[in-house]
Structure 1
Amino acid sequence: MRVGVLSLQGAFREHLAVLDSLGVATRKVTRPEHLENIDSIILPGGESSAMVRIAATTELFPVLGEKISAGLPVFGTCAGLILLADRLTDASLDGFDRLGGLDVTVARNAYGRQRESFCAPVQVTGLDGAFDATFIRAPQILDLGTGVEVLSKYAAVPVLVRQGNIWGGSFHPELGSDMRIHEEFLHSLGATV
């Protein structure tokens, strides 16, 4: 199995390090041709407005969006969730290609500014014990479509969801030493790690 990691900006290095420690082959994805021969892709946290602007110069998102629509498994964390959300509450990314495919409404930076970032334990379906979730200028999931399964909540609000092969999280599971959420995503694809 080879997992692509969108590597335009943000926490892509941290996701690559987690996957490497799990023994998974990876590929940095910055151009459409990097999507060939990958079995899934992770969209990291970072600055979603920077990501859409950088991607616009490469035509990456239209090609990636088609692959996701055709069934390519994807896991978007923080800014990656914003890129996957079918609906946003603001117009800050209007005029740029996003990916969509996840039937949720998301508010960008809903948990506050950088200085209001925090860690909190959350319970995640399929995991024994709490997972320490890191929220950094995190988006909030406000509304779910009928096919979206909630895997975790924080303060009664969904923070990790799944719709078929599309996963989205408000927090950064790549920060810290707990790799269980990456493992769960990979197990959902049939990988053994």
Structure 2
Amino acid sequence: MGVKIGVLALQGDVAEHIAAFRECLADRPGSTVVQVRRVADLADLDALAMPGGESTTISRLIGKNGLYEPLIEFAGGVFATCAGMVLIADRVDDPRVRTLNLIPMHVARNAFGRQVDSREGYLDVAGLAEPFRAVFIRAPVATDVGPQVQVLARIPEGVAAVRRGRHMAFAFHPELGGDLRLHRMFLEGLEV
């Protein structure tokens, strides 16, 4: 059965998310990956990717495009990376960001500091047999998560990956580097 994935295409690494999900869905006939910029674009989606980028800019553009309520009410799963993790939290350390309250967690933006402090490394992720090469770019971290949130990975700065129901959020960029295990894990969670 085909799956329809949307990628919030307001700002950030949209093309990388589209390419990763298209590759994951290549063996599923009838599956599509589409860009989401307007409320109408959310129709018939099974899931939505919220890419990294600049969280205050994406927050402002969500509001400008009238997407806040539709995103909050979206019934599909959400795959959120970096700035997306900031946006789906219920609390964030920056009053300029209006969150979607999809996962009960407190997120600290730019927890690593400046761009020069970005890094990559191998990370143990619950559910994966081998470590995942994680790319952290001015990354956030969750400093506190609700009891119903499953922590998938931690780093010294805080929580780097979580799952709640059909939603997954990552402080890093799983769409970079060609390792699609987390995308596949997310897609499997949609079928539950």
TM-score (norm 1): 0.91
Matches within 5 A, 1:9-48: 9-22=11-24, 23=26, 24-48=31-55
Could you say what secondary structure the match of 1:187 adopts? helix
Q: Which residue of structure 2 lines up, in the alignment, with residue 150 of structure 1? A: 151
Query: Does 1:182 find its partner at 2:183?
Result: yes
Q: 2:111: which partner in 1?
A: 110
Question: Which residue in the other structure is 1:63 paired with?
Answer: 70
Aligned residue pairs, count: 185
2:42 and 2:64 mapped to 1: Cα distance?
16
Query: Structure 1, unaligned stretches of length 5 or more?
Result: none
- Change in 2 beyond 3 A, CA 1:147/1:19: same
Identity fraction in percent:
39
Q: Deviations over 1:26-63 (max 9, x none)?
A: 11001100000110111000001111122222101221
List aligned pairs for 1:95-106, cutoff 5 A: 97-106=98-107
SS in 2 for 1:186: helix
Aligned twin of 2:76: 72
Letter in 2 for 1:61: Y
- Cα 1:79–1:150 change in 2 (3 A) is same
Q: Which runs of 4+ in 1 moved over 3 A?
A: none
Alignment partners' CA distance in 1, 2:121 and 2:155? 8
Aligned mates of 2:34, 2:68 — CA distance in 1? 17
Shifted more, 156-165 versus 28-37: the winner is 156-165
Q: State the AA in 2 paired with 1:33.
A: A
* Inter-partner Cα distance in structure 1 for 2:118 and 2:5: 28
The residue type equivalent to 2:81 in the other structure is T
Using structure 2 for the length normalisation, give the TM-score: 0.92
- Between stretches 20-29 and 180-189, larger displacement belongs to 20-29
Say whether 1:126 aligns with 2:130. no
Secondary structure in structure 2 of the residue aligned to 1:153: strand
Q: Which moved more, 1:162-171 or 1:152-161?
A: 152-161
Moved more, 79-88 or 21-30: 21-30
How far off its partner does 1:126 sit? 1.4
Displacement of 1:190 after TM fit? Answer: 2.2
Extract unaligned runs of 5+ from structure 2: none
